[in-house]
């Protein structure tokens, strides 16, 4: 297995990351455990999940994937063998993730609530890589092509980073990353981190495949010059 540095963290992760988003809906707990056992046996040390999973998202299965990862940690007692990544939802009308029944957004309160719930489901006291699943501002999402300006509510990127700084300082999160983000968004996060002494994003999880190579247009230069590593998802274009 080949290993690469995660951003500029000094942490080595396997070049293949185990995605988990179907566990609890399209795959059973036993099948999820079997996949994790096999991954570890092949030298994979990097697992990715999300508070929103399983997919397609619905109230009945939300959080099930993290619970399956958590039950595997408890049974195998090997949390230290895995670099664990999970995500907090961006702004959406999904009302079943938060205790107050509000739609998701990346406010300080919701980020803290999401971290604490993920830790409980995962049966761990820390998350290695905590990612913003999609931007709080309205943009094309999940591999959508082109740009169209859309007005809508959003929390400023600086404020989102300040909330993430709090969960990092608490010891609940080691590093932070982005997902479904644009070059403009990535550079704005890096700018706030550098000028305000806030946590630096170490990775970006975006769609990248033969029919969607938009990451190459701006993201690849950022990855090389600023060390924000790509976690490529949908390599087979879904």
Within 10 A of 166 (CB to CB), how many other CB atoms are there?
16
Rounded to an integer, what distance in angstroms lies between the CA atom of residue 138 and that of residue 22? 26
208 is known as an active-site residue: no
Report the distance separating Cα 50 and Cα 60, nearest Å.
15
- Under 8 Å between Cβ of 113 and 107: no
**Residue from 175, 167, 162 nearest 83 by CA:** 175
- Closest by Cα among 182, 172, 218, 222 to 202: 222
Annotated active-site residue in 53, 130, 208, 233? 53
Neighbours of 78 (CB within 10 A): 12
56 preceded by a cis bond (ω within 30 of 0): yes
Catalytic residues: 53
């Amino acid at each position: 297995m080949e290993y690469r540095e995660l951003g500029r963290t000094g942490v080595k992760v396997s070049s293949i990351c185990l995605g988990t988003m179907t566990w609890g809906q399209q795959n059973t707990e036993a099948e999820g455990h079997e996949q994790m056992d096999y991954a570890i046996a092949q030298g994979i040390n990097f697992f990715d999940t999300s508070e929103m999973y399983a997919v397609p998202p619905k109230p009945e299965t939300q959080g099930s994937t993290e619970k399956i990862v958590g039950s595997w940690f408890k049974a195998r007692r090997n949390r230290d063998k895995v670099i664990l990544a999970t995500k907090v939802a961006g702004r959406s009308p999904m009302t079943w993730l938060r205790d107050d029944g509000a739609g998701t957004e990346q406010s300080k309160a919701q980020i803290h609530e999401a971290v604490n719930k993920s830790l409980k489901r995962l049966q761990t006291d820390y998350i290695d890589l905590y990612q913003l699943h999609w931007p709080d501002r309205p943009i094309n999402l999940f591999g959508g092509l082109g740009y169209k300006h859309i007005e809508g509510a959003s929390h400023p990127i600086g404020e989102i980073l300040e909330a993430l700084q709090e969960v990092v300082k608490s010891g609940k999160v080691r590093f932070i990353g982005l997902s479904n983000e644009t070059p403009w968004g990535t550079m704005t996060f890096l700018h706030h981190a550098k000028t305000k002494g806030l946590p630096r994003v170490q990775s970006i999880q975006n769609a990248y495949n033969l029919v969607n190579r938009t990451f190459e247009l701006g993201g690849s230069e950022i990855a090389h010059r600023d060390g924000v590593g790509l976690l490529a998802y949908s390599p087979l274009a879904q």
